[in-house]
A and B are shown apart, each in its own frame.
Chain A
Amino acid sequence: MNGTAGIRKVIAASSVGTMIEWYDFYIFGMLAKTISTQFFPEGNATAALLSTLAIFAAGFIVRPFGALVFGRLGDLIGRKYTFLLTLVLMGGSTFLIGCVPNYKTIGIAAPLLVLMLRLIQGLALGGEYGGAATYVAEHAPKGKRGFYTSWIQTTATLGLFIALAVIMLVKLNMPDERFNAEWGGWRWPFWISIVLVGISIYIRLKMKESPLFAALKKEGNTSTNPLKESFRHRSNFKMVLLALFGAVMGQGVIWYTGQFYAQNFLETKCNIEFEQSRTIMLWAIAFATPFFVFFGWLSDKIGRKWIMMAGMLLGVLLYRPIFQTFLNNTNVKEAITVENMDFRNNRLVKKVNDTTLIVADSYTLYPPLSQLGNDEIKESLVVHLKKGSISTHEIHLGKKLYWKFILLVWLMIVFVTMVYGPIAAFLVELFPTKIRYTSMSLPYHIGNGVFGGLVPFIGLLLTTSFPADPLVGLWYPIGVAALCFVIGTIYLRNKIDRNVND
């Protein structure tokens, strides 16, 4: 096994590449609204958004197939070269998504190309995670596997963080029209990715093969057919099913609800303005990320099972109260009048109470308010209010509410760290070396790709179909997590397998 310096290099090399792959994957979801207008015919906005989310889901649904293809490669030829390949595929397809002309220019070819590239992203990601977690775990010393693999567990959230930050930086430094133009700023996060991927490839080329796999290969004990050994041997297939239904299924929905669904809910249901909805997530992620490592470390001491089950149970019990709080605190109904309305920083604002401002959309008003004096603004507003050309647009939270929302999102991300921090070590310990890459990748990507990835898609479907209850979309993650909690509590064992050298 490597010394401390050696294992740190291994973690850094694995983590950087994995984080970039997550970034590549998430910028698509973050820009779903913009992408839907670029690549789908104008018309029903919900249908376009749903179509984009379907493509988003397609990227998730193919992940299990990527897990099979690259898992098999990784068990046949080694971890290092396989996840070099996944990085190249992910980076290339991400860059190319940024190069596809929009629907108005090339018609139906546009969404078809984007869909194909999105599927390649999903396949690549399906191969990435299993390799990275396996690679780190097979270098980690006994008794510290949870701690060391938890660094890999931070990469998905850090990739999300970087995706949010990059998109925000680009969007806030140019006018909306330029950001949303056909070849506008929204493409920049895709193009930036090729630089990040290039750096990751350079780092990974310098890595050595996993010592366990190298030893296995030297002894001639690699698997000739890891797929068959993973899924046709009953004893192994049983563990694949248990890993899925007792752990990863619940972990997947908790992961996506606490991060993706929360961000989308704040923006679309609470109508919080773009910048705040993103910075709330950024702060919450920044404060919660250390807990991945904490719970990975803790799982080495007390076992993996109960930490993961606790995270699921907390989500089941607290999601509805938390999201109801978001709604209650932003449910501000106030008639818009000229009194107490201010024109500030090119926006019309109305202070409703000490903590919440309603921002009225003034960009389409003519003459532009920025060209008018204060008295002229008031006269103009009276006219526009009579015509009905001003309406409540977005909400800007006051300081107290802003930090309350950060606290609540942070709490949900702590649930994520509880279910996700220990899970890499948990999965690695379930399976023997020669089929580990294949066997752990499939349940991981079904749990996260299928169950988790469909949270926004099914959530939107439920809320558009049952509009009376804005929280109806939560029943899907709550139900799945509850089922997984029951199965995991009863069937999983808390004992840690100290030795993965087999």
Chain B
Amino acid sequence: MMNSIKKYLGIIWLLLGPALIYFLVSGAIQNIDPTGKKDINNPVIWIIIIAIFTPIAIGLMIFGWYAFKGGYNQLPENSRVIGE
């Protein structure tokens, strides 16, 4: 049962990655305003945050994919197995 949970949650992580990117990009589109005075209107802030979190979101998707394919159903018993 635990392996099923791991597998189906993998779908959630797969979807969470693009959802995060979408959330950040739409936040940028809504809030960037050259005439605005708040820091949230500053495009530089959004460029930094999107540039940083996009690779992380992709990493989360890869994690989700591995989870969905059963890659975490059985964790290695020791680090020697990982290195083989």
Report yes or no: B9 in contact with A502, Cβ–Cβ below 8 A: no
| Cβ–Cβ < 8 Å partners of A446 in chain B | 56
CB distance from A468 to the nearest CB of B (A): 13
Q: Which residues of chain B in 35-84 are interfacial with respect to chain A, using CB atoms and an 8 Å cutoff? A: 38-40, 45, 48-49, 52, 56, 59-60, 62-63, 66-67, 71-72, 75-84
Q: How far is the CA of A93 from the CA of B6 in the complex (A)?
A: 45
CB distance from B78 to the nearest CB of A (A): 5
Q: Which residues of chain A in 213-246 are interfacial with respect to chain B, using CB atoms and an 8 Å cutoff? A: 229, 233-236, 238-239, 241-242, 244-245
Q: How far is the CA of A229 from the CA of B83 in the complex (A)?
A: 8
Report yes or no: A46 in contact with B39, Cβ–Cβ below 8 A: yes
Question: Smallest CB-CB separation from A236: which chain B residue?
Answer: B82
| Cβ–Cβ < 8 Å partners of A234 in chain B | 71
Question: Smallest CB-CB separation from B72: which chain A residue?
Answer: A491
Q: How far is the CA of A487 from the CA of B13 in the complex (A)?
A: 9
CB distance from B19 to the nearest CB of A (A): 12
Report yes or no: B76 in contact with A235, Cβ–Cβ below 8 A: yes
Report if A238-B79 is in contact (Cβ < 8 Å); known contacts: A50-B39, A464-B39: no
| Cβ–Cβ < 8 Å partners of B60 in chain A | 245
Report yes or no: A432 in contact with B83, Cβ–Cβ below 8 A: yes
Give the contacting residue for A241; candidates B66, B81, B82, B83; CB below 8 A. B66
Give the contacting residue for B63; candidates A61, A245, A436, A458; CB below 8 A. A245
A429 at interface (Cβ–Cβ under 8 A)? Answer: yes
A449-468 CB mask vs B (1 if < 8 Å, else 0) is 01000100010110011000
| Cβ–Cβ < 8 Å partners of B81 in chain A | 235
A54 at interface (Cβ–Cβ under 8 A)? Answer: yes
CB distance from B18 to the nearest CB of A (A): 15
Q: Which residues of chain A in 479-502 are interfacial with respect to chain B, using CB atoms and an 8 Å cutoff? A: 486-487, 490-493, 495, 497, 499-500, 502
A348 at interface (Cβ–Cβ under 8 A)? Answer: no
Report yes or no: B82 in contact with A235, Cβ–Cβ below 8 A: yes
Give the contacting residue for B79; candidates A229, A430, A454; CB below 8 A. A430
| Cβ–Cβ < 8 Å partners of A244 in chain B | 59
Report if A464-B40 is in contact (Cβ < 8 Å); known contacts: A244-B59, A490-B9: yes
Report yes or no: A491 in contact with B6, Cβ–Cβ below 8 A: yes
Question: Smallest CB-CB separation from A54: which chain B residue?
Answer: B48
Report if A238-B71 is in contact (Cβ < 8 Å); known contacts: A47-B39, A61-B52, A244-B59: yes
Report yes or no: B52 in contact with A461, Cβ–Cβ below 8 A: no
Question: Smallest CB-CB separation from B84: which chain A residue?
Answer: A235
> How many interface contacts (CB-CB < 8 Å) are there between A and B?
84
Report yes or no: A238 in contact with B72, Cβ–Cβ below 8 A: yes
Q: How far is the CA of A495 from the CA of B39 in the complex (A)?
A: 46
Q: How far is the CA of A486 from the CA of B6 in the complex (A)?
A: 11
- Number of B interface residues, CB 8 Å? 32
Report yes or no: A491 in contact with B39, Cβ–Cβ below 8 A: no
Q: How far is the CA of A434 from the CA of B72 in the complex (A)?
A: 23
Report yes or no: B79 in contact with A493, Cβ–Cβ below 8 A: no
| Cβ–Cβ < 8 Å partners of B63 in chain A | 241-242, 245
| Cβ–Cβ < 8 Å partners of B13 in chain A | 245, 487
Give the contacting residue for A502; candidates B2, B5, B83; CB below 8 A. B83
Report if A450-B56 is in contact (Cβ < 8 Å); known contacts: A236-B83, A497-B79: yes
A369 at interface (Cβ–Cβ under 8 A)? Answer: no
| Cβ–Cβ < 8 Å partners of A486 in chain B | 9
CB distance from A319 to the nearest CB of B (A): 21
Report yes or no: A490 in contact with B78, Cβ–Cβ below 8 A: no
Question: Smallest CB-CB separation from B66: which chain A residue?
Answer: A238
| Cβ–Cβ < 8 Å partners of B71 in chain A | 234, 238
Q: List 17 A-B contacts (CB under 8 A).
A: A235-B76, A238-B72, A241-B59, A242-B63, A245-B59, A245-B63, A436-B79, A454-B52, A460-B39, A464-B40, A465-B31, A490-B6, A490-B9, A491-B6, A497-B77, A499-B78, A500-B79
Using a CB–CB cutoff of 8 Å, the interface residues on chain A facing chain B are 46-47, 50, 54, 57, 61, 229, 233-236, 238-239, 241-242, 244-245, 429-436, 446, 450, 454, 458, 460-461, 464-465, 486-487, 490-493, 495, 497, 499-500, 502
Q: Which 9 A-B pairs have the closest CB atoms?
A: A432-B83, A502-B80, A465-B40, A241-B63, A432-B79, A493-B75, A497-B78, A491-B72, A235-B82
